[in-house]
Amino acid sequence: MPSNTESIRPQSWQGIDDIVIIGGGLAGLFCALKLAPRPVTVLAAAPIGFGASSAWAQGGIAAAMSEGDTFDKHLADTVAAGAGTVDEKMARLMISEGPDRIRDLLAYGVPFDRDLEGQLLLSREAAHSERRIVRVKGDRAGKAIMEALIATVRRTPSIRVMQGYVVEELISEGRFVSGVIARPDAGQSKTRVAFPARAVVLCSGGVGHLYQVTTNPTEARGAGVGMAARIGAVIADPEFVQFHPTAIDIGRDPAPLATEALRGDGATLVNTAGHRFMTDLHPDAELAPRDVVARGVFAEVQAGRGAFLDCTKAVGAHFPELFPTVYASCMEAGIDPVTQPIPVAPAVHYHMGGVLVDADGRTSIDGLWAAGEVTSTGVHGANRLASNSLLEAVVFAARIAENIKGMMPEPRLYEWPKSAGESDDLVTLEDSPQLMKLRRLMSANAGVIRTGEGLKTLIREIVALEEERGRTRVRFANMATTAKLIATAAYLREESRGGHYRSDCPEPREAFRHRTFITLKDADRIAAELAG
């Protein structure tokens, strides 16, 4: 078997397994560990730790653990950032379970930063009223968390990880999911493999590569949302896409990230003339909510004045030690952030929308649970509070494990995997003309700033791309479905709120102060109306 499909499979594996987890990121691995010692299989498109946004997260995890902090304060900040559509009940649940999940991660060996007395060292990020971000070496939280979890997974005989298996379809029987179909060899095999299951946990990540500029790994293409929607799952809040204001603008795909922690430590945003433009736009300047900062940066770039993150005074000579990941990215591009401002631009960073789930991670389809960025729990509202994403992933992954254990106390024996037949749908999506066109269209019409006319055009173009039905049709259909849901929900929301900004409807409207719930059937109906 090729190295990219290498399996982490202990010799003691007995083949008893009726739980399949899609995705080898933080949510997927944490859920697998919480399910132990119950046998479980994790299907990962890339070697675990390499294809997950979790591993790239720089800021850390938000948790109310300091002496002056409270769950109420953390909730208030989350609700304020969420621009009026946060599900407060779900957010309070997440926040209240946060400290216990941090302790779990410590037990798994995550080396969170500590002070001289051995207490967790907490930092502050944008829109947080207190220092509550648990970090690792400044900007290496995601990498360190994933390394610790992977090491623990390798020591856990109940977890089998199948690497290089790209899941393409959920097998459904009526309103019940009964397994998945995946393609081995990093998605390049002609043969597809069926994995039957009583429980499927979707942890497939975000939507960044539906856009031209993103900080996400290439595996984050929105496939999970599309797969779930295609079997009838309810999708929530898909229009709310968060653009990180400070991707390092050096022409790389994906774009490296200049963590928000730099602005938390005093770095400023300036244009070519050296003017600190965010002071003109918001009382919190660089620490304003991300959507405000993203639009500020976008405006400077569009106007030809450029945007730069100046860390020379706030961080200066300490940069290599405090922010080694950002420092390395800059130096590779010939920029010394100790003495030079860093060129930045907004990039798709996080999707607040996704598959609708309840407090136990259950979707609207029986037998299908979901956790992480592929979901919409309601805790982020229209605009995610910094570092709440990793918190959401571990809290709901743990709740899913408990729910599955309670609903299905005894494992069943399955014979699998088995062939699902051959298919000519070989995919090299990076070179697909369909995907390249879709990414251009999404950035142009469903990006930082949107209009009703642009979204109409986008929806029609997505339908046209779907109808081309080239050799990439199976996987492209998942991505096109997610793009169509984002565009349709954005078209219907005739206002601006959080990560969704329409220049033709620039203010929030009370009539739209609610979450969006949509199905693929709804989106197809609206697309048909626009085509007519």
Which positions are annotated as active-site residues? 290
Helix segments in 265-387, DSSP class H: 290-302, 319-322, 324-332
Strand pairing report for 235-236 and 191-196:
unpaired
Coil vs helix vs strand at 438: helix
CA distance 340 to 330: 10
Q: Which helix (H) or strand (E) holds 473?
A: helix 473-492
282 within 8 A of 263, measured Cβ to Cβ: no
Query: Residue 62: enclosing H or E segment and its boundaries?
Result: strand 61-62
Q: How far is CA 330 from CA 54, 98, 128, 316, 468, in A?
A: 21, 33, 27, 14, 40
Calculated CA dihedral for residues 211, 216, 219, 225, nearest 10 degrees: -70
Q: What three-state secondary structure class fits 358?
A: coil
The token pair that represents 347 in the structure block: 């990039």
Cα–Cα distance for residue pair 384/392, rounded to 1 Å: 11
- Residue written as tokens 């399955």? 414
Longest CA–CA span in the chain (Å) reads 68
Name which of 307, 299, 292 is nearest 243 in CA terms.
292
C-alpha 505 chain-centroid distance: 27
Please state the length of the chain. 532
Please tell me whether the peptide bond between 256 and the residue prior to it is cis, using omega within 30 degrees of 0.
no
**Cα distance between residue 141 and residue 224, in whole Å:** 25
- 8 A C-beta contact, residue 236 and residue 515: yes
- Would you state the structure tokens that stand for residue 372, as one six-digit string? 């992480």
CA-CA distance, 306 to 273, in Å (whole number)? 9
Q: Rounded to whole angstroms, how far apart are CA atoms 403 and 31? A: 11
Pairing of strands 199-202, 19-22: parallel
